[in-house]
Chains A and B, each alone.
Chain A
Amino acid sequence: MGLGGGLMLLGIVVMGLINDLAGAPHVPVEEEGAIVATPVVSPDLRAYIIALGLLVWFVYGVYKLTSAPPTAEIDSPAAPADD
């Protein structure tokens, strides 16, 4: 939970803030075929970090699914699901 969310916040918020404070764009700005402004933090690096955060969440979800006990004690039908 912490790692996935931390990577997401790093890629989206922290690295976005670095670009904003440096006055740099989020993606390279091109005019007439020439790049006139580049971001401080590469958008590709940000994308990989965000994707890694999502993959951590995905792996955690699959782990939760596969590690659930195959059977459970029968609850009262009126009881809400406990997860």
Chain B
Amino acid sequence: MTYDTQPVRTELFGRSVAFELDKPWTSYWLVFLRLIVGWWFLGAGLSKIVEHGVFYDAHGWMMYAAEGTLIYPITSWFAANAVWLPNLMIPWGELAIGLGLIVGCLTRLAAANGAILMFFFYFGNADWSHGFVNGDLMGLLLFLTLIVFGAGRVFGIDAYLEGTDYVQNRKWLRYLMG
């Protein structure tokens, strides 16, 4: 049996680290993870839009359900002063994040926005009835995983975009892509 692996050799906290990644499995797993997380958010956004229309009503959650949590100063300010923004951004933002992940376009930007949303869900649903390691934290970590590995480079539009001269000449753009 042959193994198609890629060695990783680096320094972590002052110690050298060396291990091998299975190339097909790593690629397969990144695209699989991207599709599942992408559908999670695409489906969540789509169902809100179908059920509630263009604007979702997040006022109750932001003003009352999140009361007493560390994000309450932010959510209560938006609920009182600019509730239209989260009402628009929650369903359409979820839809855009999910779509971006599924097609692998601006993957890191999409995943970063997903992580920010999960930050608010994690701390806003903070009765901690399911402990501190719950589904919201796992979702947040999944988004960060997609950012760290640049998952849009596997069967994603970012793989094409990163090969263009425009992106090659603007290295910072890679931090928004896969």
Interface residue count for B (Cβ, 8 Å)? 32
Residues from chain B with a CB closer than 8 A to the CB of A69 are 171-172
Residues from chain A with a CB closer than 8 A to the CB of B172 are 65-66, 68-70
Residues from chain B with a CB closer than 8 A to the CB of A54 are 119, 140
Pick out which of these stretches binds chain A: B32-40, B76-84, B93-101, B125-133.
Answer: B125-133
What CA separation (Å) do A50 and B131 show in the bound complex? 13
Give B residues with C-beta under 8 Å from A: 13, 69-70, 112, 119, 123, 126-129, 131-133, 137, 140, 144, 147, 150, 153, 162-163, 165, 168-172, 174-178
What CA separation (Å) do A30 and B148 show in the bound complex? 41
Interface residue count for A (Cβ, 8 Å)? 31
Residues from chain B with a CB closer than 8 A to the CB of A75 are 168
> Which one of B137, B165, B171 lies within 8 Å of A70 (CB-CB)?
B171
As a 0/1 sequence over residues 1 to 32 of chain A, the CB contacts with chain B under 8 angstroms (1 = contact) are 01000000001100010000000001100000
Please determine whether A2 and B13 come into contact, CB atoms closer than 8 angstroms.
yes
Please determine whether A16 and B170 come into contact, CB atoms closer than 8 angstroms.
no
What CA separation (Å) do A27 and B175 show in the bound complex? 38
Tell me which of B123, B176, B178 has the highest count of chain A C-beta atoms within 10 A of its own C-beta: B123
